Amino acid sequence: MIQKLLKMATEESDNPDLRDRAYIYWRLLARHPKTAYKILFSERPPITEESFKMESGKLDTLIANIGTLSSIY
C-alpha cells in the first residue's frame, strides 16, 4: 500500500515538492525501515493557536510591507 502511494507520488505527481518528499521517504524505507518507523510514528507536539501568535509591532510591519520582498525577510 505504501509502495503504491509512493510510486504514484513520484511518477504521477506534477508537484516537485511532493515528488521530492516521496523519494526521501522511499529511500528511507528501503534502507532504514526501523528508523523510518521511528520518524513516521514518533510523538509530535500538539499544534496550538499559540504557535501562530506574533508580536503586534512585527505583524503590523509585515502587513505594511506585504507587497514587497521585505515581508519575506
Query: DSSP secondary-structure letter at 73?
Result: -
pTM equals: 0.53
Query: Is 69's pLDDT higher than 80?
Result: no
Q: Which three cell numbers stand for residue 46?
A: 500538539
Query: Is 7's pLDDT higher than 80?
Result: yes
Residue whose grid cell is 509530535: 44
Q: Give 3's pLDDT tier (boundaries 50, 70, 90).
A: confident
pLDDT digits (tens, 9 = 90+) for 8-62: 999 999 999 999 999 998 999 999 999 988 988 899 888 777 756 777 788 788 7
Rg over CA atoms, the chain: 19
Sequence-distant (6+) residues with CB within 8 A of 38 are none
Higher pLDDT, 36 or 72: 36
